[in-house]
């Protein structure tokens, strides 16, 4: 059941260079389980919309198969597929009222008038639309239009709900509210959902699993935790959230983890790896800014640490992973962000929490940087 894409490729003729082609989606396979909420996430133009339109039937794949509820639907037109789409522009029929919009699909199915009214009213109650039933679409706010679009899709009880950046026309506050709403409705009705966005926070909040795409390819499929903390490759690590990369060579394999000698000569353990490493392999170690610990450096001269920073302690082995000078501090209230010049190409990014209790550094302060094995993740260097 659910939705299955098997080796889907979509090639368009290039609109700007006649005769040439654009590969919008390349060899995409995924199995979405029944009731699951899967999000396609990726930069603009990576093929998310195209993938969604292939599932809904508005585009035919150049190669590959689309399965919905255990049936191969490659040759079914969109109106024969059991999917309902929530469009980015909402696509509410401007000549119909809210209630007529919502009842449109039921009417097409030829349900009796009474049924249509009952179903429409029920869904309008769930979505807080009851008192808008007779409004015209141009008399609705963005959030209300969004709810109408969602109600219109859900009322047909499709086996699959498809969303193409449904929240991108809303302001930040409403967006936050609506994504929880969407998730709640989806859970209530248990409808398999495929959601497209380029907003990672949105993806992290609503999804059971996330599919990260780039240039038509799937870069990784995984739970929000896996995508963020255990990325498969450099692209995913870099695209989701902020990140520090440290290069080194694997010296020893220890169960799930490895021991790495970093290029600046320091040894550290890394608890997880995206592939099975062998000693001697080059590795790229990913550490998120919030996983870095800042300590007063071993060779502290005393003036480098601000007044409250005394709570930081030296690591057990005395030698920090890296030393550097605080370049920039951004105080955001709940967190404090640092850019640290560690003598490398790019500044090291670090985030500390609860600065009011933990204290914070000032630009120019010298700090030691370290991390624990569990928060580090090793990728092959060439990924």
Partner 1 sequence: MVRSKGSRWAREIRLLWGDPLLFTVVFFVLSSLIVFILYPLVLVVATSFKTPKGFGLAVFLEVFKSAYLLQGFWNSIMMSTLTAVGGSLIGFLFAYTLSRTDIPFKKLFHIIAIIPVVSPPFIGAMSIIMLFGNNGLITYSLLGINNYPIYGFRGLLFAQLLTFFPIAYITLRGVLESISPTLEDAAMDLGGSRWQVFRKVTLPLSIPGIASAMLVLFIETMADFGNPLILAGSQFPILSVQAYLQITGMFDLPTGSALALLLLLPSITAYILQKYWVSRKQYITITGKPTTSMIKSVHPVAKWVLFGVCLFVVLLILLVYLTILWGAFANVWGTDNTLTLKHFQYVFGVGFRAVVDTLTISGISTPLSGILGMVIAFLVVRKRFPGKQFMEFTSMLSFAVPGTVIGIGYILAFNSPPLVLTGTLAILLLNFIYRYIPVGIQSGIAILRQIDPAIEEAAIDLGADAKKTFLRVTLPLMVPAFFSGLIFAFVRAMTAISAAIFLVSSHWNLMTVQIMSQVESGRLGAASAFSVILVGLILVAIFMIRAILLYRYGKLGGKLLNI
For partner 1, the binding residues (CB under 8 A) are: 11, 13, 19, 21, 23, 56, 58, 62, 77-80, 83-85, 87-89, 91-95, 104-105, 108-109, 152, 156
Residue (of 23, 77, 19, 71) closest to 47 by Cα position: 23
Query: Which of Mg ion, ligand ATP, partner 1, none binds 15 (CB below 5-8 Å, type-dependent)?
Result: ligand ATP
Q: Which does 11 bind (CB under 5 to 8 A by kind): Mg ion, partner 1, ligand ATP, none?
A: partner 1
For ligand ATP, the closer CB: 59 or 339: 59
Residue 104 partner contact from partner 1, Mg ion, ligand ATP, none using kind-dependent CB cut-offs of 5 to 8 Å: partner 1
Least distance CB 198 / Mg ion (angstroms): 8
DSSP string, 67-95: EETTEE-TT--GGGSSEEEE-TT----TT
How many residues are there in the chain? Answer: 383
Q: How many residues bind Mg ion (CB under 5 A)?
A: 1
Kindly report the CA angle at 272 between 206 and 205, in degrees rounded to 5?
10
> What does the per-residue mask of binding to Mg ion show for 16-55, with x meaning CB under 5 A?
---------------------------------x------
Closer to Mg ion by Cβ: residue 163 or 228: 163
Read off φ and ψ for residue 374, nearest 5 degrees: -65, -30
Q: How far is the CB of 52 from Mg ion (least distance, A)?
A: 8
Mutual angle of helices 113-126 and 98-108, in 10-degree steps:
130
Element containing residue 30 per DSSP (H, E): strand 21-32
- Residue 45 interacting entry, from partner 1, Mg ion, ligand ATP, none, C-beta within 5 to 8 Å by type: ligand ATP
Q: What is the smallest separation between the CB atom of 93 and partner 1, expressed in angstroms?
A: 6
Measure Cα distances from 137 to 90, 92, 115, 142 in Å: 10, 7, 23, 10
Min separation Cβ 185 and ligand ATP, Å: 23
CA distance 287 to 256: 17
Which one, 165 or 181, has the nearer CB to ligand ATP?
165
Binding residues vs ligand ATP (CB under 6 A)? 12, 15, 22, 24, 42, 44-50, 198
**Contact criterion met (CB below 8 Å) for 62 and 48:** no
Interacting residues of 79 by C-beta distance below 8 A, sequence separation 6+: 57
């Amino acid at each position: 059941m659910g939705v299955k894409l098997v080796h889907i490729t979509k090639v368009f003729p290039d609109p700007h260079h006649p005769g040439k082609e654009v590969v919008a989606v390349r060899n995409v396979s995924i199995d979405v389980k029944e009731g699951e909420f899967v999000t396609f996430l990726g930069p603009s133009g990576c093929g998310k919309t195209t993938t969604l339109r292939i599932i809904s039937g508005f585009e035919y794949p150049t190669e590959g198969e689309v399965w919905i509820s255990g049936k191969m639907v490659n040759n079914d037109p969109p109106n024969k597929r059991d999917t309902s789409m929530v469009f980015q522009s909402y696509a509410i029929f401007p000549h119909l009222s809210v209630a007529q919009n919502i009842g449109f699909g039921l009417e097409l199915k030829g349900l009796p008038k009474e049924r249509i009214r009952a179903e429409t009213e029920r869904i309008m109650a769930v979505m807080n639309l009851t008192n808008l039933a007779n409004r015209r679409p141009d008399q609705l706010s963005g959030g209300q239009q969004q709810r109408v679009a969602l109600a219109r899709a859900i009322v047909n009880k499709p086996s699959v709900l498809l969303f193409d950046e449904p929240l991108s026309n809303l302001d930040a506050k409403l967006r936050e509210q609506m994504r929880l709403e969407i998730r709640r409705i989806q859970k209530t009705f248990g409808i398999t959902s495929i959601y497209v966005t380029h907003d990672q926070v949105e993806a992290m909040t609503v999804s059971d699993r996330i599919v990260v795409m780039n240039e038509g390819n799937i870069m990784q499929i995984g739970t929000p935790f896996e995508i963020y903390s255990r990325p498969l490759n450099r692209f995913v690590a870099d695209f989701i959230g902020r990140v520090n990369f440290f290069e080194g060579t694997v010296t020893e394999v220890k169960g799930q983890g490895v021991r790495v000698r970093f290029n600046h000569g320091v040894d550290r353990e890394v608890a997880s790896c995206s592939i099975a490493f062998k000693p001697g392999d080059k590795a790229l170690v990913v550490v998120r800014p919030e996983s870095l610990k800042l300590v007063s450096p071993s060779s502290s001269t005393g003036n480098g640490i601000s007044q409250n920073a005394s709570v930081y302690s030296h690591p057990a082995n005395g030698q920090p992973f890296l030393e550097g000078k605080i370049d920039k501090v951004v105080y955001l209230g709940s967190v404090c962000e640092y850019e640290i010049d560690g003598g490398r190409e790019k500044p090291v990014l670090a985030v500390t929490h609860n600065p009011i209790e933990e204290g914070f550094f000032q630009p120019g302060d010298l700090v030691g940087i370290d991390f624990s094995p569990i928060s580090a993740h090793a990728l092959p260097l060439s990924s």
